[in-house]
Amino acid sequence: MDSTRVSIEKSRFDAVIFDLDGVVTQTSAVHAAAWKRLFDAYLAERAARTGTSPGGAGDAAAPGPDDAAAALRPFDLEADYRLYVDGKPRYDGVRDFLASRGIELPTGDPSDPPGRETVCGLGNGKNDFFNAEVEQHGVRTFPSTVALIHQLRDAGIRVGLMSSSKNTAMVLDVTGTTDLFEVRVDGVVAAEVGLPGKPDPAMYLETARRLGVDAARSVVVEDALSGVQAGRRGGFGLVIGVDRLGQAAELAEAGADVVVDDLAEVGVSA
């Protein structure tokens, strides 16, 4: 039985731009583990330093001024990851998560060592944890995504990659998927040319520009709320949300034209 729910029509679209983590590669869980390792260690150290006992697991709402214990509760792999760090540039994720706990740190400098108590220092620590996770466990792709990319290329539809991660080249190399994409705009490119991260559409629009296509005739494929918002704000012709985290309603609310569980539900037509 044909499971296709969405058809990308060559007559309507010239290109498809994929997000990396959670869409092409199964790295969202790796990122989440690295974020949790970073924040749990930092919050525990902060609790010990301030003499505050961390609160238990709770909702991800920002704490009030008298809620110091709850502010230091462990990082939630579902709510905190989805709301504050998923799909965002590393330093933005640090800043947004800490703000949700009422914590503000100086930005610091990208050269800050992982042990320094700055946004950049914590972000660099997260990067070290991510690299360690990849080295230990490796990275896998989603076979249905790779199959869809081959269908698109065979149909003459251009394929680009957009990722907030500065580890994109390493992940593509590990998974052998570098040659699948004509154009790549990642965290390294964003830093070089000064592009803001998601939910700002700038990185997606730059990918479309480098592909030589109009946003209105391009498709964005995203699993993160911030990425779906970026696709919608950028005026892309079709935004496909991939529900990897049980947030179909939220993806639709963020601006996805259609939400699928897996890209096996997406086909290509003339």
Single-letter amino acid, residue 254: A
Residue showing tokens 């269908």:
151
- Specify whether the CB–CB gap between 239 and 232 falls below 8 A: yes
19 is catalytic: yes
Residue showing tokens 């803001």:
196
Cα dist from 228 to 138, 237, 242, 250, whole Å: 27, 12, 10, 10
Q: How many residues does the chain have?
A: 270
d(CA 219, CA 122) in angstroms, rounded, equals 34
Q: Which two tokens stand for residue 14?
A: 């010239």
Q: Which of 14, 21, 86, 223 is catalytic?
A: 21
Q: What is the DSSP string of 245-261?
A: SS-HHHHHHHT-SEEES
For CA atoms 184, 147, 174, 116, give the dihedral sign: positive
Q: Which two tokens stand for residue 175?
A: 């998974």
d(CA 180, CA 153) in angstroms, rounded, equals 9
Residue 184: CB atoms within 10 Å: 19
| Strand-pair partners of 80 | none
Q: Which of 19, 76, 92, 223 is catalytic?
A: 19
**What residues are labeled active site?**
19, 21
